[in-house]
């Protein structure tokens, strides 16, 4: 069975970027901890100086990284595997296995980094180090035990990573299948509709009804009501990953080698 070799190839291929990613992350954390005495604060993408130094939500960087990896994971692999007589079905299944392996591995590493960061923070007694889960579900995180929080956080991150990578994978296959005109139309049209057209239409004609509905749907899907239920979020993210994986298969099954 070529599945094992196909997964092996992809895992090895992604190994180098992952190593570089964690090296950069490590440097950022060292820098963050080193200058924390100067009240340098990193809070995901939000900077705050109100309390003690805070480093939080570093997993967001992993989400972005995996999304970008997803975006770069079709054309080259597809050509290489087709050259080596691998069927589309095997390519697709091996990709899903690779996504699962990589996301699990990075969720484990991130959890390790989080625990290490918390340890250093507790020793310093000045720095606050928080994971993405604690940021999103802060009310719940305060209520449950540390172990429970870390287990929930691990699975939440895993689901988030899976969703990010499968979305990236779908986008790259969809673009691969499109002709040039369709690519331009989608690349320009979708952001315009989502960022300009829909909000304007909503504000002018519907008095914000669409935005309210979206916020309500988002709140429900991620379990933000009643103090926050992360299991809603996990199920939602898994559903997103499943839907985009199915859509990716629909695209990949008829993909052809292009010159």
Partner 1 sequence: MKGIEIRNTSKDFGNVHALQNVSVHFEENKIYGLLGRNGAGKSTLLNVITGRIFANNGEVLVDGETALENDSITQKIYMMSEKNYYPENMKIRDVFGWTKEFYLGFDTAYAIQLAERFELNIDKKVKSLSTGYSSIFKLITALSTNAPYILLDEPVLGLDANHRDLFYRIVIEKFSENPCTVIISTHLIEEAAGVIDHVVIIKDGEIIKDESRDDLMSKGYTATGAVSVVDSFIADKNVLGTDSLGGLKTAYISGALDRSTVPSGIEISKMDLQRLFIQLTNS
Name the residues that contact partner 1, by CB under 8 A: 1-2, 5, 8-9, 76, 79-80, 82-90, 254, 256-257, 259
Of 98 and 157, CB closest to partner 1: 98
Q: What's the Cα-to-Cα distance from 118 to each of 31, 139, 168, rounded to whole Å?
A: 16, 19, 31
Q: Which two tokens stand for residue 39?
A: 């009240």
Phi, psi of 56 (to 5 degrees): -150, 160
Q: Which CB atom, from 143 or from 253, has the smaller least distance to partner 1?
A: 253
Tokens of 223: 């379990």
R_g of the chain computed on alpha carbons: 21
The answer to whether 203 and 136 are in contact (CB under 8 A) is no
For residue 144, the minimal CB distance to partner 1 (Å) is 46
* Closer residue to partner 1, CB minimum distance, 91 or 121: 91
- Work out the burial of residue 175: count CB atoms within 10 Å of its CB; fewer than 13 is exposed, 13-18 middle, 19 or more buried: middle
Of the pair 76, 142, the CB lying nearest partner 1 is at: 76
Instruction: Report in angstroms how near the CB of residue 94 gets to partner 1 at its nearest.
Output: 11
Q: Partners of 15 in the beta sheet?
A: none
**CB 181 to partner 1: min, Å:** 14
145 vs 179, beta carbon nearer partner 1: 179
How near is the Cβ of 167 to partner 1 at its closest, in Å? 24
CB of 21 to partner 1, least distance (A): 18
Q: How far apart are the first and last CA of the chain?
A: 28
* Dist CA 150 CA 144 (whole Å): 10
């Amino acid at each position: 069975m070529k599945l094992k070799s196909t997964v092996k190839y992809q895992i090895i291929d992604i190994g180098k970027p992952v190593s570089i990613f964690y090296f950069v992350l490590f440097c950022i954390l060292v820098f963050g901890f080193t200058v924390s005495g100067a009240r340098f604060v990193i809070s995901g993408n939000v900077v705050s100086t109100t309390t003690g130094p805070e480093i939080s939500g570093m997993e967001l960087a992993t989400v972005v990284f995996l999304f970008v990896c997803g975006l770069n994971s079709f054309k080259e692999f597809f050509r290489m595997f087709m050259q080596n007589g691998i069927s589309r079905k095997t390519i697709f299944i091996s990709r899903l296995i690779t996504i699962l392996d990589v996301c699990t591995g990075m969720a484990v590493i991130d959890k390790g980094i989080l625990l290490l960061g918390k340890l250093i923070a507790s020793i310093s007694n000045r720095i606050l180090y928080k994971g993405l889960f604690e940021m999103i579900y802060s009310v719940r995180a305060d209520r449950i035990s540390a172990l429970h929080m870390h287990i929930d956080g691990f699975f939440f991150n895993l689901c988030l990573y899976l969703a990010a990578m499968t979305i990236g994978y779908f986008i790259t296959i969809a673009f691969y299948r499109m002709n040039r005109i369709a690519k331009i139309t989608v690349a320009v049209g979708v952001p315009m509709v989502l960022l300009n057209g829909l909000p304007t239409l909503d504000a002018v004609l519907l008095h914000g009804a669409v935005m309210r509905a979206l916020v309500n749907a988002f709140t429900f899907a991620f379990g933000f009501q009643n103090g926050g239920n992360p299991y809603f979020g996990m199920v939602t993210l898994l559903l997103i990953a499943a839907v985009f994986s199915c859509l990716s298969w629909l695209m990949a099954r008829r993909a052809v080698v292009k010159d």
